[in-house]
């Protein structure tokens, strides 16, 4: 919060407490009528209720009190009890100066910075599909936003490289290629390279899963293979490391293409060694029980309105499950990082699973202060409202979608920018996908229309990029001016100023709700104000030196702040468009 805004809330709170005897938290809101105020207060309603009087009477007293302060140009009581506050030009210029000189562009640091593990991406061992896109975009935006607030963030992709799917894949591979040396018990030397490529791996799991459903014997063999792998069979371990390793490399390349950064590239398999300790911890506190050879943890609560199944830590055949490796991963993260929070950016359909994990983790006294949060999200569909599919009806791969959007961006550019056209098309395509995804509240699904997403008009990524690039090009031709030169001679100047000063609040709101769409909304509002400013307030052709310096100074702070917002959202901004 900027000084003039924090002074406003603290001065009003002090007045209510000292003069009227009422202690109430005070906050500001955007003034619905910008010409009447930069912010509005609604605290008079709560104060009037406590004092048994009318809100308008309290609002008039607050306005009269505020008009005595230098940072207030005018405060006005407005029926039925709001207080509209117009700040002085000097107060706004001081706040803009603070933003201009701050490398963090006015984002206040968190009062109590936390150590946070951010778990997102989470692909299985197969090429990524369109469904993985939301986790990557949401996770990366949250990573950048949280870091900007001063939190210590470690990101982990957490590969799904363990459990029954691994056994199904290996059994399907054996079914297709039985002569591979890894399946020959008489051999102990194996090739250095995997026997199949990542693209060929894509078909193994669906084919193997279908075979297991039709053939009970096949399912039992896949389960036995899973147990042998988890018990450390040398041949299966070597084969799985090479197959999964090749696929992980391919996955990380796609993640990099979309701008997702991971500090850790661990998977479920890395947690396997900690499973015995997990079993011991739950046994020691009496949280686990044995039922028909299974080790389970009952996580039901009396107030539950729906059935919450128990967590299975191990099955009668000795195999472990998804929940087991997730809890073992918590153990490793607590040991290695001592986090305050672990955020899981995972499909909303996994909410029950993470409720089970949260309750189970809370049963271990050493982990009682650890916050487990599921940042769930809805699905992404095609423009017809159905899941993205290829023409032959298969789920579309993420690389295929990127290629389609990049080709569309290239068509839109045409021959306008021959230099670095391929790189520019890629930047525009990723920004188009990213902003289309992040524009929607994460818990809502949305339909992606590629043509609309790549448009340079409307609420799109290309529109935001162009807003920055166009203004930056204009400013590159001008001499920098200090914000003290700003004069708010037209309403759009003041409106743009207030958008800039609301940036830090938008970032904090996005972090508090794990909702990057709030920062996207701010970005569109700021870009729209910047473009209205561009149309209303000429710079290069302005002959009045004072006005020209004023406009250059405000536009400079605005474009720097908007650019920083787009970087926090994960966008790369080209030099020209």
Across 64-78, 96-110, 382-396, least confident range:
382-396
The reported pLDDT for the residue numbered 463 is 97
DSSP 182: G
Q: Which residues pair with 341 in a beta bridge?
A: 116, 371
Give residue 181's pLDDT band: very low, low, confident or very high (50, 70, 90): very high
Give residue 337's pLDDT band: very low, low, confident or very high (50, 70, 90): very high
Strands 341-347 and 371-377: parallel
Rounded-to-integer distance, Cα 522 and Cα 565, Å:
9
Q: What are phi and psi of 236, to 5 degrees?
A: -65, -35
Using CA of residue 287, residue 290, residue 294, residue 298, what is the dihedral sign? negative
Rounded-to-integer distance, Cα 329 and Cα 245, Å:
19
Percent of the chain with pLDDT over 90: 80
Rounded-to-integer distance, Cα 43 and Cα 17, Å:
12
The structural domains of the chain, ordered by start, are: 3-87 (3.30.1360.70), 164-243 (no CATH), 267-377 (no CATH), 398-569 (1.10.730.10)
Rounded-to-integer distance, Cα 170 and Cα 175, Å:
9
Give residue 302's pLDDT band: very low, low, confident or very high (50, 70, 90): very high
Long-range contacts of 348-352 (CB under 8 A, 24+ apart): 348/376, 348/377, 348/378, 348/443, 350/374, 350/376, 351/376, 352/308, 352/309
- Mean pLDDT over 374-399 rounds to 80
Give residue 480's pLDDT band: very low, low, confident or very high (50, 70, 90): low
Q: Which of the pair, 524 or 129, is modelled with greater confidence?
A: 524
Give residue 164's pLDDT band: very low, low, confident or very high (50, 70, 90): confident
The closest alpha carbon to 398, from 207, 118, 134, 160, belongs to 134
- What's the Cα-to-Cα distance from 376 to each of 128, 266, 379, rounded to whole Å? 19, 21, 10
User: Mean pLDDT across the chain, nearest whole number?
Assistant: 92
Across 193-202, 226-235, 305-314, 524-533, least confident range:
193-202
The reported pLDDT for the residue numbered 169 is 93
Burial class, 399, CB count within 10 angstroms (exposed 0-12 / middle 13-18 / buried 19+): middle
Using CA of residue 13, residue 18, residue 20, residue 24, what is the dihedral sign? positive
Q: Is the pTM of this model over 0.85?
A: yes
Instruction: Find all residues with CB under 8 Å of 160, minimum gap 6, and list them.
Output: 122, 123, 124, 125, 267, 268
Query: Is 92's pLDDT higher than 60?
Result: yes
Query: Is 46's pLDDT higher than 90?
Result: yes
252: left (phi over 0), alpha (psi -120 to 50) or beta: alpha
The reported pLDDT for the residue numbered 206 is 87
Percent of the chain with pLDDT over 70: 97
Query: Is 393's pLDDT higher than 60?
Result: no
- Mean pLDDT over 212-241 rounds to 93
The reported pLDDT for the residue numbered 338 is 97
Instruction: Find all residues with CB under 8 Å of 329, minimum gap 6, and list them.
Output: 158, 266, 268, 270, 271, 274
Block residue for tokens 């590239």: 265
Query: Is 304's pLDDT higher than 90?
Result: yes
Tens of pLDDT, residues 272-301: 899 999 999 999 999 999 998 899 999 999
Tens of pLDDT, residues 11-30: 999 999 999 999 999 999 98
Tens of pLDDT, residues 501-514: 999 999 999 999 99
The reported pLDDT for the residue numbered 199 is 82
The reported pLDDT for the residue numbered 127 is 82
Tens of pLDDT, residues 131-161: 899 999 999 999 999 999 999 999 999 999 9
Tens of pLDDT, residues 353-374: 999 999 999 999 999 999 999 9
Query: Would you say 389 and 401 are in contact if contact means Cβ atoms under 8 Å apart?
Result: no
């Amino acid at each position: 919060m900027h000084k003039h805004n924090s002074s406003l809330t603290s001065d009003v709170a002090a007045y209510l407490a000292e003069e009227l005897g009422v202690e109430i938290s005070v906050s500001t809101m955007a003034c619905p009528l910008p010409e009447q105020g930069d912010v509005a207060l609604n605290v008079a309603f709560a104060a009037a209720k406590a004092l048994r009087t009318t809100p308008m009477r309290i609002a008039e007293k607050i306005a009269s009190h505020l008009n005595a302060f230098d940072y207030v140009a005018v405060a006005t009581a407005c029926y039925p009890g709001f207080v509209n506050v117009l700040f002085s030009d000097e107060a706004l210029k001081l706040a803009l100066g603070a933003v201009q000189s701050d490398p963090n562009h006015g984002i206040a640091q968190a009062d109590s910075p936390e150590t946070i593990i951010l778990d997102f991406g989470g692909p299985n061992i197969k090429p990524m599909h369109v469904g993985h896109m939301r986790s990557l975009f949401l996770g990366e935006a949250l990573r950048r936003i949280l870091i900007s607030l001063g939190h210590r963030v470690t990101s982990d992709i957490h590969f799904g490289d363990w459990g029954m799917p691994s056994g199904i894949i290996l059994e399907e591979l054996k079914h297709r290629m039985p002569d591979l040396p890894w399946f020959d018990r008489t051999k102990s030397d194996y090739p250095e390279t995997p026997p199949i490529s990542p693209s060929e791996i894509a078909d193994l799991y669906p084919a193997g899963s279908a075979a297991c459903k039709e053939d009970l014997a096949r399912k039992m063999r896949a389960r036995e293979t899973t147990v042998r792998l988890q018990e450390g069979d040398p041949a299966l371990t070597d084969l799985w490391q090479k197959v999964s390793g090749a696929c992980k490399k391919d996955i990380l390349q796609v993640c990099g293409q979309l701008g997702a950064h991971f500090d850790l590239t661990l998977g479920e398999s890395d947690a396997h060694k900690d499973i015995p300790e997990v079993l011991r911890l739950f046994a020691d506190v009496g949280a686990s029980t044995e039922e028909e050879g299974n080790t389970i943890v009952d996580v039901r609560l009396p107030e539950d309105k729906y059935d919450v199944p128990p967590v299975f830590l191990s099955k009668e055949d000795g195999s472990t499950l998804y929940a087991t490796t997730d809890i073992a991963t918590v153990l490793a993260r607590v040991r290695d990082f001592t986090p305050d929070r672990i955020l899981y950016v995972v499909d909303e359909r996994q909410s029950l699973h993470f409720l089970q994990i949260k309750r189970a983790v809370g049963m271990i006294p050493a982990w009682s202060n650890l916050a487990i949060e599921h940042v769930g999200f809805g699905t992404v569909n095609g423009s017809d409202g159905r899941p993205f599919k290829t023409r032959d009806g298969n789920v579309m791969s993420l690389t295929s979608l990127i290629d389609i959007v990049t080709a569309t961006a290239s068509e839109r550019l045409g021959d306008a920018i021959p230099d670095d056209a391929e790189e520019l098309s890629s930047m525009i395509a990723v920004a188009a996908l990213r902003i289309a995804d992040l524009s929607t509240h994460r818990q809502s699904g949305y339909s992606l229309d590629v043509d609309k997403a790549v448009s340079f008009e409307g609420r799109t990524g290309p529109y935001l990029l162009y807003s920055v690039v166009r203004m930056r090009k204009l400013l590159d031709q001008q001499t920098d001016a200090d914000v003290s030169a700003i004069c708010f001679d037209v309403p759009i100047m003041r409106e743009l100023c207030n958008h800039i000063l609301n940036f830090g609040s938008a970032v904090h709101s996005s972090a508090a709700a794990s909702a990057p769409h709030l920062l996207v909304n701010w970005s569109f509002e700021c870009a729209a104000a910047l473009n209205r400013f561009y149309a209303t307030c000429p710079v290069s052709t302005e002959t009045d030196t004072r006005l020209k310096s004023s406009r250059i100074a405000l536009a400079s702070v605005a474009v720097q702040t908007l650019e920083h917002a787009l970087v926090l959202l994960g966008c790369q901004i080209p030099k020209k468009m």
